[in-house]
Amino acid sequence: MSRSEAVEFLVAKSIEFGEPVDLVMRTFATWEDGVTTWPHAKYRRLLHRVTGRRAVDLGFKAPAHRARPGRPVSDEQDQAGADPMIRRTFVLGAGATLLTAALPAPGSATSALASDHLQALRETEKQLYVQDRDHGSADLGRQAAAALHTAHTWLAHGRYSDDLGRRLHTATGMLSVAAGWLALDAGRTSDARSLYTEALASARQADDAGLEAHAFACMSLLAHATGRPREAVGTARVAQSAAAGLGSPRWLALLAMREARGWALQGDRALTEDAIVRAYRLYEKGPHDADPDWLGFFVPAELAGLESLCRADLGQHDRAAAGAEQAVMLFADGHLRNRALYTADIALQHAQRPRPNLDFATDAGHRTLAHLSDVRSARLLRSLRTIAGALTPHRDTPCVATFLDAYRTAVPAA
pLDDT of residue 352: 93
91: left (phi over 0), alpha (psi -120 to 50) or beta: beta
Q: Is the dihedral of CA 331, 342, 218, 221 positive or negative?
A: positive
DSSP structure string for 249-312: HHHHHHHHHHHHHHHHHTT-HHHHHHHHHHHHHHHTT---TTS-GGGGG--HHHHHHHHHHHHH
State the Cα torsion 217-219-225-231 to the nearest 10°: -100
| Nearest C-alpha neighbor of 213 from the set 239, 250, 177, 175 | 239
Q: What are phi and psi of 283, to 5 degrees?
A: -65, -35
Q: What are phi and psi of 159, to 5 degrees?
A: -110, 135
Distance of CA 143 to the CA centre of its chain: 14
CA atoms of 296 and 127, how far apart (whole Å): 13
Contact 309, 261 (CB under 8 A): yes
HSE-CB of 148 using CA atoms within 13 angstroms: 29
Q: Cα separation of 305 and 298, whole Å? A: 10
What secondary structure, in 3-state letters, does 186-214 show? CCCHHHHHHHHHHHHHHHHHHCCHHHHHH
Residue 138: what pLDDT? 60
Burial 166-183 (b: 16+ CB within 10 A, else e): bbbbbbbbbbbbbbbbbb
CA distance to 3, 40, 53, 66, 342, per residue, from 79 (Å): 26, 9, 16, 11, 31
Phi, psi of 150 (to 5 degrees): -60, -45
Cα–Cα distance for residue pair 211/203, rounded to 1 Å: 5
Cα 58 to chain centroid distance, Å, stands at 30
Please check whether residue 220 is in contact with residue 259, taking contact to mean a CB–CB distance below 8 angstroms: yes
* 112 strand-pairing partners: 159
- CB neighbours of 387 closer than 8 A, spacing ≥ 6? 344, 347, 348, 351, 361, 365, 368, 407
CA distance 256 to 263: 11
Q: What is the pLDDT of residue 135?
A: 64
The pair phi, psi for residue 38, each rounded to 5°, is -150, 95
Contact by Cβ (8 Å): 388, 344: no
Measured CA to CA, the distance from residue 44 to residue 308 in angstroms comes to 40
Phi, psi at 313, each rounded to 5°: -65, -30
Residues 6+ apart with CB under 8 A from 67: none
In the prediction, which pLDDT does 413 show? 55
For the chain (length 414 residues), average pLDDT per consecutive 10?
A: 81 75 77 82 88 87 58 44 32 33 48 86 86 66 82 87 94 93 86 93 94 95 94 96 95 97 96 98 95 90 96 96 95 84 96 94 95 84 93 95 93 64
Tell me, what's the pLDDT at 137? 58
